[in-house]
Amino acid sequence: MKSNGLIHRRKVLALAAGMLTLAASGPLWAQASNPIKVGMLLSASGAGSAAGAAATIGAKIATAEINASGGVLGRQIELVSADDQSNPTAGQTEAIRLVTREHIDYMIGPQISGVAVASAPTLNAAGIMWVTTTAASDQLTTKFAPRHFSMLYTAQTNGEVLAEHAKRMGAKRVAIGTDNSLVSLGILSSLKTSIPAQGMTIAAQEQWTFGDTDMTPQMLTLRRSNPDVLILQAPTGRDLGYVLKNLNEIGWNPKIIGGGAFGTLASQAIAISGAEAGKKVYAYTYTAMTSCPKDPLGKTPYAQLLTKLKKAEPANFDKISHFNVASGYDMIYILKYAATGAGSLDGSKMTAWMEQNAGSLKLVYSPVRASKDDHFMFGPESETMGIDVANPREDGTITRADCK
């Protein structure tokens, strides 16, 4: 029979071993229980504030869904907001704060190309993966920003699609009006080669400063060129709304092809120009946001997200940029897919997984793509032209221009 002293010593040793085991596993347990910090470097102020507010809403809806289903890699997602003020200097400062003080694991935004370019060195050094919405500068290559992905087309692709549609409209002479943002300058460069390649000529080209509200002088010059079609490009619906307002004020009613901001931010534009002006625009938009009149209502992932948005924001539903809501939503789900697929939050590992598997993602904006040489996730199959974009169908989808 064992003595009481021996039994006591064995109990003490067992307790000590258990404590050592807990101590050894403590850091792993703490890491698993800590939230995944997602920086949201979006515009809460400045010209991009409407888009930033909408993307934030989408990110919050997706985060709530993912956290309720167990999170990512066993951890909950925590969103950390930052305002880039639609300004490269402010954006760069906030990127530094998110990396050095908040210690973020992943980032969504910025939305504006100039802010994204300015923030890239900081985010490159941090080693995290980051995904932007409307940043389409040609500078954002895989060499310049190796762990950056854009939920957008390239400026080259955008210009080609706009030129192709002008050709389908029977245009021979095309006028171009753009602002001076990085994304618009990239699209302008593409248009200058794509329009002649389609057998058309550029009748005139005018430019205004990003954020201007009076483009009357530029529109008067373009009118004098007597074009068959006018292409208007700007990164915000606000800018395009003022252009349409100016066109109405000078009494010019040309055939108009609107850039991506009009197709996705039509509510911003018509709030300034009026709904009638919006009906005249053929708008560059995303296939996922569109449908044809004979398609069943409410079946697409985009339409289903809008149902969630109505529940989340019933009072503001019609005022919110639905495109940016969907972008914010998808960018959080990209985190889930990439981190789960890579089995890690390491930015390089997630990036490698995305380069091999992006085409399999089930997103609102699918199909998407990526490769080692190209992280712009929207190709020609993701883009189309919409009509009367300010008056979508009952389920929120836009009517495609090519419906038969």
Predicted pLDDT of residue 11: 45
> E strands within 254-358?
256-258, 281-286, 290-291
Predicted pLDDT of residue 252: 96
Predicted pLDDT of residue 321: 85
Rounded CA-CA distance 149/85 in Å is: 21
Output 32 or 89, whichever has higher pLDDT.
89
The pair phi, psi for residue 204, each rounded to 5°, is -170, 160
In tens, the pLDDT along 314-345 reads: 999 988 888 899 999 999 999 999 999 999 99
Partner residues linked to 257 by β-bridges: 231, 282
Q: Where are the alpha helices (DSSP H) in 169-208?
A: 182-197
Q: Which of 2-16, 70-84, 275-289 has the highest mean pLDDT?
A: 70-84
Rounded CA-CA distance 315/312 in Å is: 9
Could you tell me if 144 and 121 are in contact, meaning their C-beta atoms sit under 8 angstroms apart? no
Same fold, 34-153+309-380 and 155-294+385-400: yes
Name the residue type at position 183.
V
Output 279 or 162, whichever has higher pLDDT.
162
In tens, the pLDDT along 190-202 reads: 999 999 999 999 9
- Cis peptide before 110, with omega less than 30 degrees from 0? yes
In this structure, what token pair is assigned to residue 248? 């109405």
pLDDT above 70 (res 3): no
Query: Lowest-pLDDT range, 4-8, 138-142, 273-277, 303-307?
Result: 4-8
Rounded CA-CA distance 162/143 in Å is: 27
- What pTM, to 2 d.p., does this model score? 0.77
pLDDT above 50 (res 21): no
Rounded CA-CA distance 217/122 in Å is: 40
- Identify the band that residue 390 occupies on the pLDDT scale cut at 50, 70 and 90: confident
Partner residues linked to 39 by β-bridges: 80, 107
Output 31 or 345, whichever has higher pLDDT.
345
Contacts of 246 (CB under 8 A, 6+ apart): 214, 215, 216, 219
Contacts of 321 (CB under 8 A, 6+ apart): 50, 51, 54, 237, 264, 265, 267, 268
Q: Measured between alpha carbons, how far is residue 310 from residues 79, 152, 203, 362 in Å?
A: 22, 25, 44, 22
- Identify the band that residue 32 occupies on the pLDDT scale cut at 50, 70 and 90: low
Contacts of 67 (CB under 8 A, 6+ apart): 76, 77
CATH superfamily name and code, 155-294+385-400: Response regulator (3.40.50.2300)
In this structure, what token pair is assigned to residue 197? 């390649």
Predicted pLDDT of residue 20: 37
pLDDT above 70 (res 376): yes
Give one DSSP letter per residue of 33-50, joined into a string: HSPEEEEEEE-SSSTTHH
Rounded CA-CA distance 306/301 in Å is: 9
Q: Measured between alpha carbons, how far is residue 246 from residues 76, 92, 102, 230, 391 in Å?
A: 49, 34, 44, 14, 22
In tens, the pLDDT along 125-172 reads: 999 999 998 776 778 999 999 999 998 877 888 899 899 999 999 999
Average pLDDT for 5-12: 46
Domain boundaries defined on the chain = 34-153+309-380, 155-294+385-400
Among left, alpha and beta (phi > 0; psi -120 to 50; other), residue 207 is beta
Is 357 exposed, middle or buried, given 0-12, 13-18 or 19+ CB atoms closer than 10 A? Answer: middle
The pair phi, psi for residue 150, each rounded to 5°, is -120, 130
Of the chain, the percentage scoring pLDDT greater than 70 comes to 92
3-state SS class at 255? coil
Q: Which CATH architecture has domain 34-153+309-380?
A: 3-Layer(aba) Sandwich (3.40)
